[in-house]
Amino acid sequence: MRILLVEDHPQLAASVAQALKSAGWTVDVLHDGVAADLALSSEQYALAILDIGLPRMDGFEVLARLRDRGNTLPVLMLTARGEVKDRVHGLNLGADDYLAKPFELSELEARVKALLRRSMLGGEQVQRCGELVYDLATRRFHLHDELLTLTSREQAVLEAMIARPGRVMSKEQLAAQVFGLDEDASADAIEIYIHRLRKKLEGDTVKIVTFRGLGYLLEAVSG
């Protein structure tokens, strides 16, 4: 899953990004509101962590413009402003959660997981496809109750697919969830990860189906 972090304090941004990356998420880091607005209008994210006190365009305006475009992306507001009126204003604009500085990275990670669970799994703790089970709290896949060993890229591809049951996802859509802004986002590389995942799922009750010219679908196989 790909997260956008917008924070103008370089050290805080670096520490938060490192914590999120260590938890297995792909993270894009930006430091001003205009860049954030552009990224949110052109890139695909699972969640945005948005500071309010940003240069060039504040977080409230970035959020308002996001919602005006009809985008329902989960947004966690991250700010030093602790006043009730600021929290209320952010929530009224469409923020999904609010965390005041200073904060513990463990709390931030827990809130991120909760927002992703709510938005991608409909509030459920787990997602299933055949005997493949994904637990969002641990971010682990199990197949027949056995832990499925995945690389970070394979994990990102499979997370994107199981979160969208019944939907064909193109290579470009998958690449947008796997690669960050500072990486070479090759859609062709997705074929490699799909091939590896097929090997790990081979002969089981779930498979990845190719729709030529369209993309890939994760589906359960009836016995």
Q: In a structure prediction context, what are the per-residue pLDDT tens digits for the chain, which is 223 residues long?
A: 789 999 999 999 999 999 998 888 889 999 999 999 999 999 889 899 999 989 999 999 999 999 999 999 999 998 876 677 777 888 889 999 998 888 999 999 999 988 988 776 565 678 888 889 988 778 889 998 889 999 888 998 998 898 887 889 998 888 888 888 777 767 788 999 999 999 998 877 889 999 988 999 999 887 5
pLDDT at 123: 58
pLDDT at 19: 93
Question: Is residue 49 domain-shared with residue 65, that is, in the same domain?
Answer: yes
Give residue 23's domain range. 2-120
CATH of residue 98: 3.40.50.2300
Question: Is residue 47 domain-shared with residue 97, that is, in the same domain?
Answer: yes
Question: Is residue 115 domain-shared with residue 131, that is, in the same domain?
Answer: no
Question: Is residue 130 domain-shared with residue 116, that is, in the same domain?
Answer: no
Q: For 29, phi and psi rounded to 5 degrees? A: -115, 125
* Cβ atoms of 152 and 24 closer than 8 Å: yes
d(CA 13, CA 30): 9
CATH of residue 187: 1.10.10.10
d(CA 194, CA 47): 24
Question: Is residue 116 domain-shared with residue 133, that is, in the same domain?
Answer: no
pTM: predicted TM-score of the whole model, two decimal places:
0.73
Given 85, 120, 155, which residue is the final one in a domain?
Answer: 120
pLDDT at 144: 86
Length of the chain: 223
Count up the domains in the chain and report the number: 2
